[in-house]
Amino acid sequence: MLNFTPQPMMEPFRFAPTGGEVAGAAFSTTFRVFATVIVGGSTLWFAQLWSRGALGSGVSNGTGWFIAGLVLMAWTWWSIMVSRTRIHASGLHQRWVWDKAMAFDDLAYVRVIRVPGLSWLIAPRLYVRTLAGKFTVFYGATPELIAEFERIGAELKAFRQF
């Protein structure tokens, strides 16, 4: 005989960040300087080509594509400059090209990903996956964010081992 009695709901995962909320830059200063040099250098190169007439007259011969590429590079550069990751009582949030958010009560798996010895350039990141399988990556360049990333991982692992 089939049993249609509903099973009790599992408690959602809860996390309390140190001090109530932890926020910081998503990308390191070195990475932001590197991005500035790349975008600035590309812009100067384009301006030099344009001023010499090497790109033709008007917006032709692929000049429009070059300008579109520079606009996309500039938008990404701006997003890198202002990107901040915030951990608060209800979840994670990162300002980026598009804002990213993930609630703690939906977390199934987290992993801190680092490139050993290159944290000064490549920001450590927190890979998170929901119970439904959706995944997102949050970047954190400050020691406070990285410590909280590790705490989230340890507490979620302990919580999910019931």
Q: Is the pLDDT of residue 58 over 70?
A: no
Look at residue 95 in the predicted model and tell me its pLDDT: 94
Look at residue 6 in the predicted model and tell me its pLDDT: 67
Pair type for strands 84-88 and 107-113: unpaired
Q: Is the pLDDT of residue 9 over 80?
A: no
Which domains, ranges and CATH numbers included, belong to the chain?
24-160 (2.30.29.30)
pTM summary value: 0.83
Look at residue 7 in the predicted model and tell me its pLDDT: 63
Look at residue 64 in the predicted model and tell me its pLDDT: 81
Look at residue 86 in the predicted model and tell me its pLDDT: 96
Residues 115-156: pLDDT tens digits? 988 888 888 999 999 988 999 999 999 999 999 999 999 999
Look at residue 162 in the predicted model and tell me its pLDDT: 62
Residues 83-117: pLDDT tens digits? 999 999 999 999 988 899 999 988 999 999 999 88
pLDDT interval class at 75 (50, 70, 90)? very high
**How does DSSP assign the chain, residue by residue?**
----PPPPPPPPP----TTS-EEEESS-HHHHHHHHHHHHHHHHHHHHHHHTTTT-SSS-TTHHHHHHHHHHHHHHHHHHHH-EEEEETTEEEE-SSS-EEEEGGGEEEEEEE--TT-TTTS--EEEEEETTS-EEEEE--SHHHHHHHHHHHHHHHHHH--
Mean pLDDT of 28-37: 95
pLDDT interval class at 35 (50, 70, 90)? very high
